[in-house]
Structure 1
């Protein structure tokens, strides 16, 4: 039986509403007040971990179910690979929650990478800062071409923006990035949806 046009409309409306609620939850979590001792710590809110765990468990669970109790003639190696791939796409959110923690100071940013590697980039060595609207992250690049990516979902972005505006050489910022950092320093970070 084919879906009528209104069934499709309801389905997509519900999906859109669910996504708007989830992204609103993520946005609100990153702006929650934090203790003073965490003011210079940039880290993901707990919502990032929850979304990563739910996505990973859900898709790996579907892969298992489609090959055990839910197995039928439509279950192939390709459906299993599709579910496993989607589960693997959720896993980086968990890794970034655990390892993607950064700390800013008057002199530098100490950063963490997805797989646990750590480093330090001095503000004076930053040659460029840009915002990637598609990926929703700030990209800092130093003289040695080392890149640090800071997600727009991080808590603590206003302090990062304040220090970047004050400490990074002025030529490292284009007008668009300067405006975005100014807005972020005032507590209005980039949107995480749309």
Structure 2
């Protein structure tokens, strides 16, 4: 009985240590210096691509293993559920490829996970909010659209400077304004 408790605690300790190291790695990789010509571009760091590929390969492997050694009670359900988990790192891969943005003094061009692109001028921004749970800066536009900028992106300081310079302070939530000021100084929000 006591051995079971230690085994469970060791598993959880390993899980949290691995998660902590991964988040630290992602956090550092988004802060790496970039060439000057990429200063106004926001994109995910290559570490995000690596994480997506490892996730896809892992869940593909687990799904194949479930097909080779099926669950005797629910073989089809187990395989379908595991195959469904491939969608999560797949979405991360799609976001890595398509969610590339560029900022300028005039406005911002952005990309969505689906591959759809758009643009707006800074005077079209109706509200700027920061979602702590999601880790996104959310820009509500006058058109009714919302543009989400992940804190995992490289290039956040340039984004923060442009928002603070061109969007009236009355349109930026107090928490978002403080985080944008901190981000403009090269200290983006922590990864949760």
TM-score by length of 1: 0.94
Once residues 65 and 37 of structure 1 are traced to their aligned partners in structure 2, the CA distance between those partners, rounded to angstroms, is 46
Comparing 147-156 with 78-87, greater Cα deviation is found at: 78-87
Deviation of 1:176 after TM superposition, in Å, equals 1.0
Aligned residues of 1:27 and 1:191 also touching (Cα < 8 A) = yes
SS at match of 1:190: coil
How far the C-alpha of 1:79 sits from its partner, in A, is 1.1
Query: Considering only aligned residues, what root-mean-square deviation do their CA atoms show, in Å?
Result: 1.5
- Residues 136-178 of structure 1: CA deviation (Å, up to 9, x unaligned): 1111111111111111100000110011000012221121111
Segments of structure 2 that go 5 or more residues without pairing to the other structure are none
Question: In structure 1, what is the Cα distance between the partners aligned to 2:83 and 2:70?
Answer: 16
* CA distance 1:182–1:134, change in 2 (3 Å): same
Look up the match of 1:161: 160
Q: CA, structure 1 residues 178+72, in 2 after alignment: closer, same or farther (shift >3 Å)?
A: closer
Q: Is the 8 A contact 2:137 2:176 kept in 1?
A: no
What is the 5 A alignment of 1:3-152? 4-68=4-68, 70-71=69-70, 73=72, 76-152=75-151
Tell whether the 8 Å contact from 1:131 to 1:137 is kept in structure 2 after alignment.
yes
- Preserved contact between residue 66 and residue 75 of structure 1 (Cα < 8 Å): no
Asked if the contact 1:126/1:169 (under 8 Å) is kept, the reply is: no
Distance 2:71 2:189 in 1: 45
TM-superposed deviation, 1:72: 5.1
Q: 1:100–1:113: 8 Å Cα contact kept in structure 2?
A: yes
**TM-score, with length taken from structure 2:** 0.95
For 1:150, what is the secondary structure of its paired residue?
strand
TM superposition outliers: structure 1 runs of 4+ over 4 Å: none
Query: Cα–Cα, structure 1 residues 156 and 11, in superposed 2: closer, same or farther, change >3 Å?
Result: same
Match of 1:25, SS state, is: helix
Structure 1 gaps of 5+ residues are: none
Secondary structure in 1 aligned to 2:109? strand
Cα distance change on mapping 1:3 and 1:78 into 2, 3 Å: farther
Which range moved further: 97-106 or 71-80? Answer: 71-80
Question: CA 1:166–1:3 in structure 2 vs 1: closer, same or farther (change >3 Å)?
Answer: same
